[in-house]
Structure formats: C-alpha cells, structure tokens
Chain A
Amino acid sequence: MIIEDKERKINIIDTTLRNGEQTAGVVFSKHEKIRMAKMLDEIGIPEIEIGTPSIGQSEREIIKEIVASGIRGKLFTYTEAIPDNIKLAAECGIKNIIINISTSDLHIKVKYGQNKTWVLNQLKETIAAAKHYGLDFIISAEDATRTDLEFLLKLLHLAQKKEAYRFRICDTVSRLDPFRTFLLINTILSTVDFPIEVYNHNDFGMATANAMAAVRAGAVSLVTSINGIGEGTGNAALEEIVMALKYLENIELGVTTSRFREIAEYVAKASARAVPVWKAIVGTNVFAHESGIHADGVLKNPINYEVFEPGEVGLTRQIVVGKHSGSHTILHKFKEFGIDLTMNEANDILAMSRSMSVDLKRPLFDKELMYVYKDYKDSHKKTAHLSAE
C-alpha cells in the first residue's frame, strides 16, 4: 500500500488564482492573474485553477484571456454545483471545471437548507450539464472531513460512474491531523479505486503535513497556492508541498524551484501580503544564521543546519552578527572584509558587537561592524600609546 516508487507522479493543481484571490481583502488585477498563470506554467505546475466564472462579467473576461494566453498546463474554473453555472464556464472557452458541493450534514442543512438526496440530484444535474458542454470535471466535496463516510463513498461511486476526472476531499475547517488524514484516504481508497486529491486548510498549521499524509495513503493530487494564500489561514503552500515531496517523500516533480522566491515575491506584491521573513522555504531568514552555534556550524559545513542549498529556492545564505553571535562568526566576517583577526581581537570585537546589538535591539549591518572594528583599533592604539609612555 505504501508506495516507495521514486517515479511516482503526484499532480499539483494550484488555486492561487481562485481560492487565493477569494481571501478576504485580496483582489488580483487582470495583468497579475495572467502573469501568475504564466509563472505557474513556466515552472512546471501541471494544472491551474484560474477563477470562478459566476462571479461576474469582468472575472469571465479575465478567464477568457488566460485561456487564450497559450498556457501548456490544464486550466480549470470553479463552480458550485448549479447546472446554470456550467454554461458560463463553457462560454469562457474552458475545458475543465471543478464542481463543488458541500457534503457534511451541517453544511447541507445550514448552507443549502436541504438534505442528502438534494445534494445527489443537484450534483447529477450539474454533471449532466458539464457533459452536455463536453467538459471534464473534478467533483469537490466541501467539508468532506466532517461528512458521514458512507455518504462520501456514495459520492465517490457516483464520480466513478459518471467518469469524473478526479474526486476532491476538502478539509474545509482543518478537522484532520496527518494520522486521521491517512486513515480517511486509506479507507476511501480501500473501498473505491478512484483518483483522489486533497484540499487542505491551515487552521492549525498542518496543511502541508496533512497533504503529505494523504500522499502516503495514496492520494494522487494536491491542491496548493503560492505562499499558502487562501481564505482564512490559507491553503497548503505550493513551495512547501513541492520541497516536502522532494526531501521528505523522495518524490521529485521536476518543478523549477529556483524561481520560488521570485514567484513568492510577485504574489506577495499582488496580494498585498508580505512574505514573512520566517516563511518556510521562501522566507529570507531561512538561510540567515546568527547564533554562535548555528553560524559556526554552517561556516564549517552548511549541511550542519541546512537541508538544501539556498539557491535551490532562489535565496542566499546570510551570516548575521548580533546578540547571539560567536567569535568564529566574527573571524569569518572580517576575513570576508579582507581583515585577518587574532582570536583575542575577535573576542573583544564580539563583546563590543553584542552589547551594541542589545542596545540597538537588532543585529549589526556590515558597515556598523566596521565601525566597531575602527573604534576597537583606535582605543587599542591609545592604550598602546599610553603604555609606551
């Protein structure tokens, strides 16, 4: 059941342009959407969700333009299971859609004011409409992780019978941890042999871990967004998923990861949401080392504190001098400046730098480090001068 095959293909369907934009307060312009779609395509993301046609005329215009922009990957639009919406998608020239419907009792009752039979009928009618327009469709079960398993399996059988492209399990309220994710996907796949994809939210910080657990259990596709942007806490971050698959699961997707930082910055600008410096994979601090032990370890050999080279995700390594620095960092830094310090000098300069850093409440810039050195040399000259007298 556990697949150790390194050739195993996992699909990525990115939803930055759809659920990413659905984030409260986020709006992408037309140009940004087209650019992001192209970027995703260029780095080798096989499938992209580009929008929701039913939102309105302007959204449909953008979708049409993306469809016409010559992207190699498969493009999808998103719709609730409403038969009339299918026409809107078809008119945009799209060939693939995601048909979403809530499947938990709670959602069926509150969101639709209906029952399970209604859900099944609604889905069947929407599927018929999709088939009428010759569209491929993913069936997306919203709030699947709070859905009665029997009903979920029923829907899976329906998806199979109607030849859906895939079935999407949405952990809409982040109800699962990785172990339960594994159990659920494993149970589903032991009952129905059908391609499953998972859609994770990050409410408890476990989106990436849950996605990995799903892959272990046999899911074949993951829904991601750049920087993890999405409603609420957001979705599984594309860059985390790709790197975790590569380094934790030995599954290499062939994505051009060296452009991750660039793309993360682009989406950050477009969404007006900064990339936190500590953001996993693409944060600028991920390869910044300050503390004596870590910096010293990295200078001896990066393998001590790094799993992959910074260039692999478009970042650079930084050695920062601050409150937690050690004397080896000082020796190294000054060597970079072309100055060879003795150990004694390094220790003295370290003490001065640390107290300066505490005073400033931040690490020192390289320039400031040189000022410290100059002050040190000056005071030293003075002492030497005094003792000579």
Chain B
Amino acid sequence: MRGLDVLTEFSMKAGQKIEPKKIKIDDTTLRDGEQTAGVVFANDEKVHIAKMLDKVGVHQIEAGIPAMGGDEKDAIKAIVALNLNCSILGWNRAVISDIDDSIECGVDAIAISISASDIHIEHKLRKSREWVLDSVKTSVEHAKKHNLYVSVNAEDASRADMEFLLQFARTARDLGADRMRYCDTLGILDPFETFMRVKTIIDIVGIDVEMHTHNDFGMAIANAIAGVKAGATYINTTINGLGERAGNAAFEEFVMALKYLENVDLGIDTRLFRDISEYVAIASGRFIPTWKPIVGANLFVYESEIRASTTLIDPSTFELFGPEDVGLERKLIVGKSSGVHTLTSKLESLGHKIEQSQAAELVEIIRDKALSLKRALFDSEIIDTFNSFKAAGPIYADSKNKGVDK
C-alpha cells in the first residue's frame, strides 16, 4: 500500500506550487457544524453566520438539510433570500424527495450524499454497490433536470475500494455532476494516503474533487492541504472546526495554512476571523480554547522569558503572522516562566522603572508567587509586589542572603 515509488512522488509534489484561483471554500458550519451532537443553531443565528461567511469571502455555503423540513427549510429559504455573493448549497441523501425539498428552498447547488465503502454499504445501507450507483444515477439525473450545480458526495470514501470509488466518480462525471466530494468520514487518512487516493481519482477520472476531512486523529487540516496538493479544488470547512465527533477542517486554520505555508492567498478577509469564531462559539455553545490555532486568545500572549523577550525585539522570531491579521492582540504576562526581561518590559509598560539587579531579585519573588497562586499575575498584583519590594528592598535582599548562607 505504501510503496517507495509513490512516496517519492509525494515528496516531489511537496514543493509544487498550487494555483490559487482554482481553490474554493465550501463552508459547512451550518450543516455538518450543526449536525454535531449537542449543537443547535437558532434560525436567526444561521442567517447571521451565512452573512458573515459571505462577508469574509467564502465561495459556497452549505446551508443545511432541506429534507429535515420545518424550521430547517425556513432557515435555508431565508439564507437564499439574502442574495449573497456566494453560492448556497443544500445537503441531500441520494433520494428524489430530498432533492425536491432542496429545489423548493431555492438553492443553486446541491450535494447528493451516499456511502461508497463496502463497510457502509453492507452494515449501514444494507444494500449493494449496484444499488448505490443506481441511486446516484437517479438522483443526479433528477437534479440536473433542474439545472442545479451538483456535488456527489462519496461518504466514507477513505474505506472504499479504490476500483469502486473510481467507478463511483466516473458515474458521477458521466451524469454531468460538477464535482465529487471525497469524504474522509472517520478521519482515518494521513496526508500521504490522502494525496495518493485523491490524485488517483483526479488523474484517472478527471472530475473536480472537494475535500471533506475529519479531525479524529488530528489530521483534518493536513489532509485538506494534501488534497489540495493532489489537485482538489474545493475544501469543505467549518468555523472553529465544528462538526461531528472531533470535528471538521477548521476554516480559519485551512485558510491561514494555505496562505502562510503554501503561499496561496484566497483573498479571504482574515481580520474577521476572531469575530466569526466568537460568534459561532456562542451560537454553538462551544468555547474557543485559548490555545486554538489561529484564533485562540492565548496565541499572542507571552510569558516565558525567551519567547517574550525575543518577540519584543522582533515578532517574526516566533510568529509567522501578526495578531492583527486574525483580529487578536499581542500581550505580555508575568508568571512562573518569566525572567528579568519580561518583568522589566512589563513594569515599563505599567509605568515603572527597575534596575537590572533589582529585577533579578523581584522576578524570584514573582515566580514563587505564581507558583503558590498557580497562575500568572495580574498587572495590579505585579505593581503591588513591585511597590512592597521597593519599600522593603534591602531587607528582602538581606534575608535572602541569610537564607543562602544557612
């Protein structure tokens, strides 16, 4: 499965330049994001998220599942009625009535989803491969009669037999489907296998491919990037990586990885990232971890001596992009890992000056304080400690020396 030749090819492709214009984001926060166990968006929130996605510059919004009816349909209709710049896509099973529901909602694009792996065909659908291809046929034909843009989603493509997957892709292409969505439903691919499988489909069948990746093993972004390197042109993302189980490829991470690691700028307004993330965090009831890549509140907060002092001189030593690029701020805090430079700069920013030798003493006190409090200190605590240190300066030094002598 993992021969040397293929791998050599992988590494050759690693440096290959990606054509920027071709890559498009199809965001599924409103569909797979909401499908997350425990997450329900209000219709107003869905409409607001759609507006934000359009404003920031995504190319397509997967707005929901029309076949769920009722409220869900209302939300999709409301989003269609916004007349946004981006395309609006509805998600469907490979069932005619589902597609009719999508048509009723007025979407311009649909995804038709059906499992492609034998495991799913046998254990979930309890049908045959032929049945799957027939369902694709009837549903794509029906959709194409209504002039919809059609994505055929191969669910569980990663565990599908490659021969069958090619047959699946060929069937979709011959029926006039506009693209095939490669779903790594369980998140079990690594980037090398992703590259190999996606490249095989594109080379042999020549259909546009969209990547839908999951993060079960922490590989969602890497696999999305691998798909792009293999020639995929659409990426299915969600804000904050919301999605079933461990979630999907995070929109903000994918866009920034493409921009800063692959030199492909999609023209997305990244400065709005923190805003959008916060909104979706609140609407989904799922906080943004402070360490979340790209938008976490802690990303540009420095405490440890080396990072803090070096970043103060030149941020590019530890940052590939600045906080302003994603709507965050750079901050210095003083705690257990801080040293003289961090403390001196912090005090200076708070309007106090301290001698180097004094700072060396004060920082010991502050570290012990952080250790006993089990956290970094607040600015006011630093000032307090500084003031009492100054007042008791020589005594402090004396008692410390005595301690050492003992």
Let me know if B299 is at the binding interface, CB within 8 A.
yes
Q: Mark A268-284, 1 if CB is under 8 A from B, else 0.
A: 00001110111111010
Instruction: Give bound CA distance, A55 to B336, whole Å.
Output: 8
Between-chain CB contacts (< 8 Å), 30 pairs: A2-B2, A24-B337, A25-B375, A27-B376, A28-B374, A55-B337, A110-B317, A174-B320, A178-B225, A179-B229, A203-B293, A209-B218, A212-B191, A232-B298, A233-B293, A233-B296, A233-B299, A236-B218, A244-B190, A248-B189, A272-B374, A278-B215, A278-B241, A280-B187, A288-B37, A293-B93, A294-B35, A305-B186, A362-B38, A362-B285
> Judging by beta carbons under 8 Å apart, are B257 and A179 in contact?
no
Interface residues of A (CB under 8 A from B): 1-2, 4, 21-29, 52, 55-59, 80, 106-107, 110-111, 143, 172-180, 182-183, 186, 202-210, 212-213, 216, 228-234, 236-237, 240, 243-244, 247-249, 272-274, 276-281, 283, 285-291, 293-294, 296-297, 300-301, 303-307, 318, 320, 322-324, 354-355, 357-358, 360-363
**Min C-beta distance of A100 to chain B, whole Å:** 9
> Judging by beta carbons under 8 Å apart, are A324 and B35 in contact?
yes
Give me the 8 closest cross-chain CB pairs, A-B, nearest first: A209-B222, A179-B14, A208-B218, A290-B37, A24-B303, A205-B221, A204-B257, A288-B37
Most B CB contacts (10 A, CB to CB) among A234, A278, A300, A322 go to A278
Query: Knowing A209-B218, A288-B37 touch, does A25 contact B314 (C-beta < 8 A)?
Result: no
Cβ 8 A contact of B286, one of A25, A278, A281, A361? A278
Let me know if B198 is at the binding interface, CB within 8 A.
no
Let me know if B392 is at the binding interface, CB within 8 A.
no
Question: Which A residues touch B253, using CB under 8 A?
Answer: 204-205
**Min C-beta distance of A207 to chain B, whole Å:** 7
> Judging by beta carbons under 8 Å apart, are A4 and B246 in contact?
no
A237 — nearest CB in chain B belongs to which residue? B218
Instruction: Give bound CA distance, A242 to B294, whole Å.
Output: 25
Instruction: Give bound CA distance, A281 to B257, whole Å.
Output: 23
Query: Knowing A173-B319, A176-B261 touch, does A23 contact B291 (C-beta < 8 A)?
Result: yes
Let me know if B401 is at the binding interface, CB within 8 A.
no
Cβ 8 A contact of B245, one of A22, A212, A285? A285
Instruction: Give bound CA distance, A387 to B247, whole Å.
Output: 49
**Min C-beta distance of B192 to chain A, whole Å:** 7
Query: Knowing A174-B320, A177-B257, A305-B186 touch, does A213 contact B192 (C-beta < 8 A)?
Result: yes
**Min C-beta distance of A101 to chain B, whole Å:** 11
Let me know if B307 is at the binding interface, CB within 8 A.
yes
Q: Mark B220-258, 1 if CB is under 8 A from A, else 0.
A: 111101100100000000000111111100100100110
Question: Which A residues touch B119, using CB under 8 A?
Answer: 303-304
Interface residues of B (CB under 8 A from A): 2-4, 7, 10-11, 13-15, 34-38, 40-42, 65, 68, 70-71, 93, 119-120, 123-124, 126, 156, 185-192, 195, 215-223, 225-226, 229, 241-247, 250, 253, 256-257, 260-262, 285-287, 289-294, 296, 298-299, 301-304, 306-307, 310, 313-314, 316-320, 333, 335-337, 364, 367-368, 370-371, 373-376
> Judging by beta carbons under 8 Å apart, are B293 and A231 in contact?
no
Cβ 8 A contact of A272, one of B7, B243, B375? B375
Question: Which B residues touch A172, using CB under 8 A?
Answer: 318
A-B residue pair count with CB separations less than 8 angstroms: 308
**Min C-beta distance of A253 to chain B, whole Å:** 15
> Judging by beta carbons under 8 Å apart, are B316 and A106 in contact?
yes
> Judging by beta carbons under 8 Å apart, are B42 and A209 in contact?
no
> Judging by beta carbons under 8 Å apart, are B301 and A301 in contact?
no
> Judging by beta carbons under 8 Å apart, are B306 and A280 in contact?
no
Question: Which A residues touch B296, using CB under 8 A?
Answer: 233
Question: Which A residues touch B247, using CB under 8 A?
Answer: 278
> Judging by beta carbons under 8 Å apart, are B40 and A361 in contact?
yes
Beyond A178-B190, A288-B245, 10 additional contacts (C-beta under 8 Å) are A2-B4, A23-B303, A25-B375, A58-B368, A58-B371, A212-B191, A234-B291, A277-B38, A323-B40, A362-B38
> Judging by beta carbons under 8 Å apart, are B245 and A287 in contact?
yes
> Judging by beta carbons under 8 Å apart, are A283 and B293 in contact?
no
> Judging by beta carbons under 8 Å apart, are B190 and A212 in contact?
yes
> Judging by beta carbons under 8 Å apart, are A111 and B310 in contact?
yes
**Min C-beta distance of B353 to chain A, whole Å:** 23
Instruction: Give bound CA distance, A355 to B68, whole Å.
Output: 11
Question: Which B residues touch A234, using CB under 8 A?
Answer: 291
A52 — nearest CB in chain B belongs to which residue? B337
Instruction: Give bound CA distance, A334 to B291, whole Å.
Output: 40
Question: Which A residues touch B40, using CB under 8 A?
Answer: 322-323, 357-358, 360-363
Query: Knowing A204-B260, A303-B123, A307-B188 touch, does A280 contact B217 (C-beta < 8 A)?
Result: yes
Question: Which B residues touch A106, using CB under 8 A?
Answer: 314, 316-317
Cβ 8 A contact of A203, one of B225, B320, B336? B320
